[in-house]
Structure 1
């Protein structure tokens, strides 16, 4: 059973290594690009929703969002009904970069899954959904 977890871990580290190198010139290493992808795809999430969607603790997520705000990729706006809630929106800079980020994500998926048939990919997706993450 350890082989499964180790294989998942190896795949994750491999993707992270390449992505960190690819996006470092943009200040998006350490997986910061993932925040942009989620925010462009779901603009207006409140900070807790974003953290939960990335499965990252809220304090780390908040610090990361602040960094991305300083870099000009994200902006925070008060919720109209509850001023205690901050919502996260992509800037034009993030929206313009999104196609490159999406292409990278697609290429990484294609490389990782290239030896699986469509049926096997569907099976893998169903099995991964069952994991306690």
Structure 2
């Protein structure tokens, strides 16, 4: 049996990451469809939950989407009644974003569904494997962030 080359290992790493991301999106879309949300929209609500009043630009940055994509997503969330915008006090071109009562009502349910999803995905991992995986993913994320921002 031939050992895996570094190039093959790199390709497996990229493919597994892509497939895990896509599988997670598909499953999450099913879980939150009843709220008319998707894997692309719910993250805005999650970030706003602890950062109400954040600027639209900062929210885009936190989610990791460009300003145009964020503007479209925020428009949809406003139409669905989950968020509202207020003009920034010191900058008339900027907006602060807030959750509505409707969003605050569904967020505990969404957190519960995400927790259930995580348990399903990781049920075959020991506590130690889960801890190592999370630390490793955080390190990889930090590295990719530095590269992205350089």
Tell which structure's C-alpha radius of gyration is larger: 2
Give the CA deviation at 1:15: 0.9
TM-score of the aligned structures, taking structure 2 as reference length = 0.79
Structure scoring higher RCO (CA < 8 A, sep ≥ 6) equals: 1
**Equivalent residue number for residue 83 of structure 1:** 92
Contact kept in structure 2, 1:19 and 1:31, CA below 8 Å: no
Spell out structure 1 runs of 4+ moving beyond 4 A: none
**Equivalent residue number for residue 118 of structure 1:** 131
TM-score of the aligned structures, taking structure 1 as reference length = 0.88
Could you report, residue by residue, the CA deviation over 1:64-123 in whole angstroms, capped at 9, with x for unpaired residues? 101110110000001112221101100011111111222233333344444224244323
In structure 2, C-alpha distance between the alignment counterparts of 1:33 and 1:65, rounded to whole Å:
11
User: Considering only aligned residues, what root-mean-square deviation do their CA atoms show, in Å?
Assistant: 1.8
**Equivalent residue number for residue 103 of structure 1:** 112
Identify which of 16, 24, 29 aligns with 2:25.
16
More deviation, 84-93/38-47: 38-47
Residue segments in structure 1 that go unaligned for 5+ positions in a row: none
Residue segments in structure 2 that go unaligned for 5+ positions in a row: 1-9
Contact kept in structure 2, 1:37 and 1:101, CA below 8 Å: no
**Equivalent residue number for residue 68 of structure 1:** 77
